[in-house]
Amino acid sequence: MSQLDYDNPLITRYASREMSQLWGPQKKFSTWRRLWLFLARAERQLGLAISNEQIAELEANLDNIDFDAAAAHERRLRHDVMAHVHTLGDLCPTARPIIHFGATSCYVTDNTDLILIRESLDLVQARLVRVIRDLARFASSHRSQPCLGFTHLQPAQPTTIGKRACLWLFDLLQDIEALHWRRSRLAARGVKGTTGTQASFLKLFNDDHAKVRELDRLVSQAMGFDEAYPVTGQTYSRKIDVEVIDALAGLAQTAHKLATDLRILASRKEVEEPFEKEQIGSSAMAYKRNPMRSERICSLSRYLISLQSSAAHTFANQWLERTLDDSANRRISLPQAFLTADAILLLLQNVVNGLVVYPKVLERHLHEELPFMATENIMMAAVEKGGDRQHLHEKIRQHSQAAGHRVKVEGLDNNLLDLLKADPDFARVDFDAVLEIGSFVGRAPEQVDEFLREYLEPRLQAIPATGSTTEAEIRV
């Protein structure tokens, strides 16, 4: 590619080479050739006049693709599938007469897409399992670390860092179960013919319906699918694409929420993503430690979420047995959905593995807000010592208003506790006991343990390892 040409940043910057190559031309067109081989083998097995020499010739030329020749054929024919039929036929003169025998273009294009979707889901799922397990370890190690909770982005009752991580984990588990469900429901388009009626194959097998059904089964099995979709038009239903991209977009929604939370926490200097020794946060402000990985997760997630509508409109506009206005869109949206999901997960794993927690900052922020949060406990303790609940409530209200004015108007520290300690109505309260921070987080540490043991682990165990990943790092 020339430096004058646009390049796709998903390929050059963000996604793994593993996912990029999965959706690359070599994988795509060699899979077409394998599908032609599967078809020829099955047709020969069921009695069509296809020789061992023709099969052997196809087997010998699965991966040696002359892309220049294919491009020249396509310029002449204006048809990508026939261009590759001719390119393969040029290499396989003996097999040329039976290549694509009885098939329509969607035999190779749709079945290939389903194979690529299956392998891509395996890769995404494997990456997501690693993220979940790494984040679970983080949650466990910080199960008891107190921190301010937030509702409405305002300080609320304390929680723990581990409990907050479990909120992220719960959503990620919903995503992996959705992805696994879609993966388990995938089937082959199989051998269905021009409008899905299998008419051409029925003709080839002299109206033998059983052989046509067996052909469909044999080819689907050769593709690695247990079954084919029971009915199709010229294409498999584009509803399948919608469901797959919906699951990927669901993952993007979770990633966006998680990364946004980290951006908020980074702004408070409570939790940060990894920051490398020579990393630059700003070209102008040398002190900056911007959460660039979390920001990138949000940016990529926003794009992936937007692809939901593309798949939905494509499905909605498939007229009758099919229209071709799905083709250009799917060439872009399907690969980019998986490339984006892959890039998001690479970033998530990098972030999760390098999260830095600052306990002293967390403690300082807790103590800044604790006076207000502790007032109900202080009131109850004073009531237990013989005080009047309504009278104490009013005294706390008055002192709180005075402390709030001091903080907001005068810009001074919160002195509510000093005011309460100096008030004779609260003289018998053991403030040290009441203000012990661990008492404010409720069952958060135990909830972390129970969630990881009783909810997360059984669900992960129920998802079979359908894919594996090589070690991949974010590129920039």
Domains of the chain (ranges, CATH numbers): 15-98 (1.10.275.10), 106-141+160-277+287-357+449-461 (1.20.200.10), 375-434 (1.10.40.30)
In this predicted model, what pLDDT tens digit does every residue of 354-378 receive, in sequence order?
999 999 999 999 988 888 888 888 8
Element holding 160 (H helix, E strand): strand 154-160
**pLDDT beyond 80 at 276:** no
Q: Structure tokens of 450? A: 């129970």
Query: Residue 47 — very low, low, confident or very high, per pLDDT cuts 50/70/90?
Result: very high
Q: Percentage of the chain surpassing pLDDT 70?
A: 94
**pLDDT beyond 60 at 102:** yes
Query: Residue 281 — very low, low, confident or very high, per pLDDT cuts 50/70/90?
Result: low
* Least confident segment among 202-206, 236-240, 381-385: 381-385
200 is catalytic: no
Reported residue count of the chain is 476
Query: Residue 467 — very low, low, confident or very high, per pLDDT cuts 50/70/90?
Result: low
**pLDDT beyond 50 at 283:** no
**What is the per-residue pLDDT for 76?**
95
**What is the per-residue pLDDT for 404?**
86
Catalytic pick from 184, 267, 282, 306? 282
Q: Calculate the average pLDDT of the chain.
A: 92
86 is catalytic: no
Assess contact for 178 and 245: CB atoms under 8 A.
no
**pLDDT beyond 80 at 288:** no
Query: Residue 187 — very low, low, confident or very high, per pLDDT cuts 50/70/90?
Result: very high
Side-chain half-sphere exposure of 61, counting CA atoms within 13 A: 22
Cα dihedral: 465, 241, 25, 188 (round 10): 70
In this predicted model, what pLDDT tens digit does every residue of 393-443 receive, in sequence order?
999 999 989 988 888 899 988 888 899 999 999 988 888 888 888 888 999
Assess contact for 182 and 128: CB atoms under 8 A.
no
**What is the per-residue pLDDT for 287?**
47
Provide mean pLDDT across the span 378-395: 91
Query: Residue 474 — very low, low, confident or very high, per pLDDT cuts 50/70/90?
Result: low
> Highest mean pLDDT: which of 149-163, 240-254, 386-400?
240-254
Q: Which residues are paired to 228 by β-bridges?
A: 188
pTM recorded for the entire structure:
0.90
Q: Which is nearest to 193 in space by CA: 270, 256, 110?
A: 110
Query: Residue 75 — very low, low, confident or very high, per pLDDT cuts 50/70/90?
Result: very high
In this predicted model, what pLDDT tens digit does every residue of 309-319 receive, in sequence order?
999 999 999 99
Assess contact for 69 and 146: CB atoms under 8 A.
no
Query: Residue 50 — very low, low, confident or very high, per pLDDT cuts 50/70/90?
Result: very high
How far is it, in rounded angstroms, from Cα 47 to Cα 204?
10
Q: Structure tokens of 392? A: 């104490």
Provide mean pLDDT across the span 370-392: 88
